[in-house]
Amino acid sequence: MPSNTVVLRGERFTLGWSPETIYGTDPGTASYTNAFGVVQSATLPDPNIDILPVYAMGSNSIRNWYVAYKGRISLTGGIPDIFLLNGYPLYLAIGNVTTTGGNPYTHTITETVTLPTLAMHVTHLDSNGTARLMRRYLGGKVGRMSLEASEGDFLKCSLDDIQFIDFSHDQNGEPKYSSNVANISVTYPTTQPYLFSYGALTLNNTEFARLRSFRLEINNSLEARYYVTDNAIAQLPYEYREGKRELAMSCNIDISDATLYKELIRQGSYSSTFRGFSMSMVFTRGVNDTITITSPTTTPGAGGDAMGCLIRSAPHVISDASVVTVPITMLLRNIKIVVVDSISSYPGNSARHNAEFTTIMGLDKSVASVQA
């Protein structure tokens, strides 16, 4: 017979995040006030356990495994297709954010060696609105982030890969239970999302008005480290270290002349100097309300730590389409994002909140130094 049992509802959840002051340490219930934006789904970083079945020594096991052992635990998740209502999550995959000016305020996001860390809380509600399951994930670093939009759509951010070092929950009596896990109150922005139709792409000082879509990808190449530790569940990652930063952008442009083809065959050389070119994208939501993506952060020049963007491919094909569309792939060396809005302070403004801990034999990860 059908049952009217109360169940967990997919649309009834609370998801909030907070910068961390100390890597992997819960900042406290009152800190989880930040929303990523409009979130429709998320892959939460619940434990993924390496289980090793051993096929040996079992006289009665026939062809089945004899015994299984628990191996390493990973805490990896992601939040796709976030409708951005502000620039809050953008610095997480890049580094640092500083704010200047009066209203409007200018938030400048720049690259750092060590990424900021975040803590995340989720509460699942049932169909009666009762909180049934609460979880927290600590010591998170964004391994991969992408920004994308297409014609007629909104500007979206995807935190494609977030890796954490610890977790806790409200299920009393179970491993990793914490009495400090309580429901949170998230402050939801009331601003509108950024529309793709108000965006503009500039390559080497030439604006392309017929941009159809774009995708910017940031890969931090995070590497997990599992060390000897006194953690109750020792298989958890001890830390994540940043690897080589990789930046790539792809876009589709309807062309009207040979400008883009000229950029392709130049291969980043101008006046016999191989230096690349500059790229900028601006998304305008209103007066003094913009997101600007720039690469490189300085005027392109020849040699190391100076070159600009380079086009990898831009095929001008023949098709039966009414308008010729050129798909472009580009290599970016570095990046800067500037957000202008009416918000006086962004998460991570007052301090770097990416507390770098000292790893010295005999010291644990509670030894931290916050970089201002």
Q: Render 260-291 in DSSP notation, one character per residue.
A: HHHHHHHTTEETTEE--B-EEEEEEEETTEEE
In the prediction, which pLDDT does 62 show? Answer: 82
81-115 pLDDT, tens per residue? 999 999 999 999 999 999 999 899 999 999 999 99
Token pair listed for 166: 């610890």
2-11 pLDDT, tens per residue? 555 667 676 6
Split at pLDDT 50, 70, 90, the class of 226 is confident
For residue 116, what is the DSSP state? P
38-86 pLDDT, tens per residue? 998 999 999 999 999 998 877 788 888 888 998 889 999 999 999 999 9
In the prediction, which pLDDT does 323 show? Answer: 86
CA dist 161 and 369 (Å) reads: 26
Token pair listed for 73: 């635990």
Q: Render 132-153 in DSSP notation, one character per residue.
A: EEEEEEEEEEEEEEEEEEETTS
In the prediction, which pLDDT does 353 show? Answer: 39
The more confident residue out of 179 and 131 is 179
Collect all residues with Cβ–Cβ distance below 8 Å to 266 and sequence separation of at least 6.
none
